[in-house]
Chain A
Amino acid sequence: MPFIPHTEDEICDMLSVIGADSIEQLFDEIPQHLRIKSLQGVPQGLNEMEVSRLMQSRAAEDGQPVCFMGAGSYDHHIPAAVWQITTRGEYYTAYTPYQAEASQGTLQLIYEFQSMMTALTAMDVSNASLYDGASALSEAVLMAVRGNRKSKSRRILVPTNVNPVYRSATKSIVHHQNIELVDVEFDTATGQTTLDALKAYEGEDFAAVVISQPTFFGTLEQVDALTDWAHANGAMLIAVVNPTSLSLLKPPGEWGEQGADIACGDGQPLGAPMSSGGPYYGFMCCKKAHVRQMPGRIVGRTVDQDEKEGFVLTLQAREQHIRRSKATSNICTNQGLVVTASTIYMSLLGPQGLEKVAIACHQNTNQLIEKLSAIKGVDVLFKGSVFHEVVLKLNKPVADVLNALAEKNILGGYDLSNDYPQLDNALLVCATEMRTDEEIDRYAQVLSEIL
């Protein structure tokens, strides 16, 4: 019996204490005719050796192509210490820190995480994390509608250069509460959200404006002007940011005259492997004035009965287990384990290390742009500088090109044709610090052969 320690003698003893004849008798309150005899559709159990063989062959089946794909998940180096410490049983197998005295490790770590996120974003406060970047944006939208006292509106301006799946997930999550996401088209020359595009909405009431830096296309927004426009029009500003970029780019807390009101995004680049899409975590920071509208767990520093420093979950009165139908969100957990990894990742790299990662990504991507755009049939679609992704326009359908690249073990990028049919043959590519000169050269070589 896998993982069940009971011996036959123990079972007999325990049943006699209960006063039951058999384990079967313990289920006698369940209507007999509803019971099932066995689980036909589940195979027989495998021992550890057998299941290892199975999983190793499954993992090997997927290969390990050279990755030039980003689009929300990024291939970064993760120091060995990060997951070795994170998977220590004391972190891996603990629960939500309800018993604060027996959870000071997790609680202090989350406080340190919150501190690091406020350091990166230049915002006042951070929560303990949400599920992922998409769900963080949806929670930010709900929070803005609740928290914007200047606006009665349930409408949010969202440029279409914000990650399309974040937009669609946000819509699935918020539309039940009659919240409307209003598309703002990007400028076709630069991929940016322009002030002119926003000015078309001047005088209308919006709870918030969402700005992504960098955009889904890798291009950079004029964040100061956009933020000031939002505030001048009574809207809150929700920043969607890539945390790696924040060592290089102006943090949302410093955008415009007053800074963003809420900053969110996906924490995956800070120490989580791409791992088929999860677990990642969503981060969320905000101005102090909005902290009581923030969803999710928050850890605070306090003292114990002897005035000794300690950490507790705080502001819990906002949460579902107390406030039930009036809670800020139904969320119970954070993505604790991934946050643990991320906190260790940021500590190991430090400010200089993180900046080097950002610069290396940026430089590798510039190098990739230079090599690929030199190929006949490849053009850079948008003018202006990018962070670590870029949209290329090809002279052939992107899907065919990606298939041909895959034959050569290259994950060539993300095909934009489903999300942006108006962009002809557009391919989103990315080169993180992991890509070597040789890999970039080889990509250029193979691509020129295909085209």
Chain B
Amino acid sequence: MLIFEHTTQGRKNIAQAPVVNGEVNDIPAELRRTKSAPLPELSELQVVRHYTRLSQKNFSIDTHFYPLGSCTMKYNPRACNSLAMLPGFLSRHPLAPEKFSQGFMACMYELQEMLCEVTGMSGFSLTPMAGAQGEFAGVAMIRAYHDAKKDFDRKEILVPNAAHGTNPATATMCGYTVKEIPTLDNGDVDLDALKQAVGPQTAGLMLTNPSTLGVFERRIEEIAKTVHQAGGLLYYDGANLNAILGKIRPGDMGFDVIHSNLHKTFSTPHGGGGPGSGAIGVSERLKPFLPLPMVTKENEGYRWLTEKDCPQTIGRLSAFMGNAGVLLRAYIYMRMLGKDGMQRVAEFATLNANYMMAQLKNKGFDVAIPERRASHEFIVTLKKQAKELNVTAMDFAKRLLDLGYHAPTTYFPLLIPECLLIEPTETEARESLDGFIEAMLQIQSEAENDAEFVKGAPYTMPVKRLDEVRAAKQLDLSWVNQS
């Protein structure tokens, strides 16, 4: 039932609203609302119960193993939440003078510095509010860099065909055309094709490393050299930074700009789809273009950098300084891990992924690139099952829900047919990994014996498979405009 359907007209929550005396009579009638908004009217208990019950219809990291490839669904420490929500942080107005902001600014400054260290970059701006906005900032800086050199003929961004969909979408937003570079069967970028593709029209290359195929790009130095020699810059999509944290740094690989998904690598919550953070780091030559605001340290105090300090900045991307509360959570997480803890992240994320890949391979599942090491994630392909049993990756995914596991990423990357992209993360204990493998084996055996049963899954969720065609054709997007 929708909250609107629990409504009783005239029911009020006295305790929640301010006391108001008198009428408003100084606003002209033609500017006033005439009918009150058709919002729900319930008691506090009814609201609490409704949203508590709704929450119970969700899978989450706190309740289920959630091996969603490319998303890094690791444990979100509770301390990060409660400390970021201390009253002093929550009640700080974003435009409060620096005098009332030194504590917060100290955290942001140190976060910028730590991010520089772990990525091998020279400067960081924390303002982008999601990975996609970080990407936008990064590509906009690449453009600003070429423009500043009066090099206006670079109109093309190169993107491997295995890339996240945001990469080409971002390039378009920045006014570039996109050229896709093929990927070899072993997961590496097709270097010959790249060499053919670069030229005076190349603004840059966007790359994820390890790639979305779950393998490390071994010829990264040659790729960097190829792009740089053509005058282009190298963009690092930080989606998979968890795999290499403390082991190798994008800056040392030759990248000029990186966005870091703090909600992945640095464990800020995904919140049902946000807020995230796409902090953006650059090498020395791109520093003048970083988006504002940033924090600098002067005479033992902290100060905001503005347009006066950074005349070549690509500007502001948000009203204030991005998702500050998310940044605080990432800061606290990094302080808790410390230098040693951070290196262990990549180690155990990789151990867990390779263990799962080995087990699944041993038990008869096909791995997309079996001859390679997994990074922090790997791909199982169910092409054989789809062909022989007519049971697809989607069917496996839905049946996994019944068995208490959130499905891995399905049908991404697009290059691998019937794929499951599996990322266990470092915070899962071996029992979870073994349980998931058992579940995969159970589904395999169900598929062999009764394919229709698997195709009908899930059976234990609040709903069965939903009619997406009807949802798109008979658009029902608001209760208010239905009734």
Contact = CB atoms under 8 A, between A and B. Distances in A.
| A/B contact in complex, CB under 8 angstroms | yes
A250 B33 contact: yes
Given A81-B48, A88-B52, 19 more contacts: A1-B344, A3-B337, A27-B373, A58-B103, A62-B88, A67-B91, A95-B68, A96-B274, A118-B480, A277-B324, A312-B466, A325-B169, A330-B166, A330-B169, A330-B170, A333-B276, A338-B275, A352-B17, A406-B99
A350 B93 contact: no
Given A61-B103, A62-B89, A135-B317, A71 B95 contact: yes
A101 B461 contact: yes
Question: Among B13, B95, B136, B427, which residue has the most Cβ atoms of chain A within 10 A?
Answer: B95
A278 B322 contact: yes
Query: A interface, how many residues as a size bin?
Result: 35 or more
List the 7 shortest-distance A-B pairs measured between CB atoms, nearest first: A45-B338, A277-B320, A89-B62, A337-B271, A59-B88, A277-B94, A172-B315
Nearest to B75: A3
A322 B166 CA distance: 10
A303 to B, nearest CB: 5
A95 B272 contact: yes
Contact of A87 (B21, B52, B81): B81
Contact of A305 (B51, B132, B352, B465): B465
A119 B168 CA distance: 36
Given A274-B94, A304-B465, A348 B171 contact: no
Query: B interface, how many residues as a size bin?
Result: 35 or more
Contact of A105 (B55, B73, B75, B359): B55
A232 interface: no
A417 interface: no
A128 B247 contact: no
A273 B84 CA distance: 12
A343 B118 CA distance: 38
Interface string A283-326: 00000100100000111111111101111101101011111111
Interface stretch (A108-116, A183-191, A195-203): A108-116
A159 interface: no
A375 interface: no
Contact of B90 (A101, A103, A274): A274
A64 interface: yes
19 contacts: A1-B348, A44-B340, A75-B93, A105-B57, A120-B37, A220-B28, A274-B92, A277-B324, A279-B274, A279-B275, A301-B479, A312-B471, A314-B477, A323-B169, A325-B177, A335-B274, A346-B39, A347-B51, A414-B95
A349 B16 contact: yes
A206 interface: no
Given A105-B57, A176-B140, A135 B31 contact: no
B100 to A, nearest CB: 5
A370 to B, nearest CB: 12
A77 interface: yes
Interface string A406-436: 1000010010000000000000000001000
B356 to A, nearest CB: 9
B116 A41 contact: yes
Given A135-B133, A344-B47, A277 B272 contact: no
